[in-house]
Amino acid sequence: MTDTIQITDSHCHLDFAVFDEDRDGVIARAHEAGVTRMVTICTKLRLEPQVRAIAEAHESVFYAAGTHPMSAADEPLPTVEELVKLAEHPKFVGIGESGLDYHYTADSKQVQQDSLRIHIAAARETGLPLIIHARDADEDMARILAEEHGRGAYSCVMHCFSSGAGLAKVALDLGFYLSMSGIAAFPRSSDLRKIFAAAPVDRILVETDAPYLAPPPHRGKTNEPAYTVHTAKVGAEVFGMDWPDFAARTQANFERLFWKAAQYEAAA
C-alpha cells in the first residue's frame, strides 16, 4: 500500500445494507486500491449511532450526519443544537448530507429548504464543511447558499456534483468545493466534465457515493470506495494532469476542507 498512489473517498454510505455481509472486505479493498480515508455519510439522524460505530471500528473511516433532502418530510427536522452536539465526536467531520432534491420530492420543497438552512447554521457554528446534495433545484440552491453565506461564512462541498454551470459558478464564487463522482466518468458526461475543467483544481474532491453510481468499468454494479480510483483518473485527464499529481492535489484539497479529519490523523 505504501507504493500505491493515495486518494480519499470523500463521500460513501458504508452503513447501507448492501455492505452488511462484507463491510470489512469493502474497506480492505479500498486500502489495497490506495484509498486511505473514507467519509461515510449518515442520511437520517436516527441512524447516526450505527454510522458512528463504523467510523469507530475502522481507523481510516470518518463520518458525517444530517437529514437527506429526500427524507426531510418523513424525518423530524434536526435542530442546530442536535447537529452541533453530534459534531463533538472526534471522527465527526462534516454536516450533512443536506440540500434540495426536486426530482422525486418536489412536493416537500419548503421543508427541504427549512432543513437546509438548519444544516447551514450548524456548519457555520461548528466550522465543519456542509455536504450538499442538489438535484433539479439549481435556482433555489444557488439562492439559499448565497443568502446564507451573506449572513455568515461557512464552508461547503457540492457532493456528487452533476448540476449546471450556473450553480457551479455560484458555489465556486462562494469559495466552495465540487466533488467528482462516477457520473463524471460516464461516457455521456462530456458537458459535466467541461464544467469541472473550468473549475480551479484546488477546489476538487473525488468520491464514490457508494453503493451508487459506479464508474466504468464497474458501471451497473455495486459501487465501493476502491472504485474512487477510476473516477480520480478521469479527473486527472480532465485537468490535464499526471495521475500522481492530481491525486496529491485532491488529498490536499480534502485535508483543507475536512480539516478535522486531517487533525485527527496528525494526532494519532
Share of the chain above pLDDT 90, in %: 98
Overall average pLDDT of the 44-52 stretch: 97
Share of the chain above pLDDT 70, in %: 99
d(CA 150, CA 266): 33
Q: Is the pTM of this model over 0.75?
A: yes
Residue 2 has pLDDT above 60, yes or no: no
pLDDT of residue 4: 87
pLDDT of residue 1: 40
d(CA 200, CA 63): 26
Overall average pLDDT of the 155-183 stretch: 98
Q: What is the pLDDT of residues 4-27, one digit of tens each?
A: 899 999 999 999 999 999 999 999
pLDDT of residue 268: 80
d(CA 153, CA 186): 34
Q: What is the DSSP string of 10-59?
A: EEE-TTSGGGTTTHHHHHHHHHHHTEEEEEEEESSGGGHHHHHHHHHH-T
Q: Which domains does the chain have, with CATH numbers?
A: 7-267 (3.20.20.140)
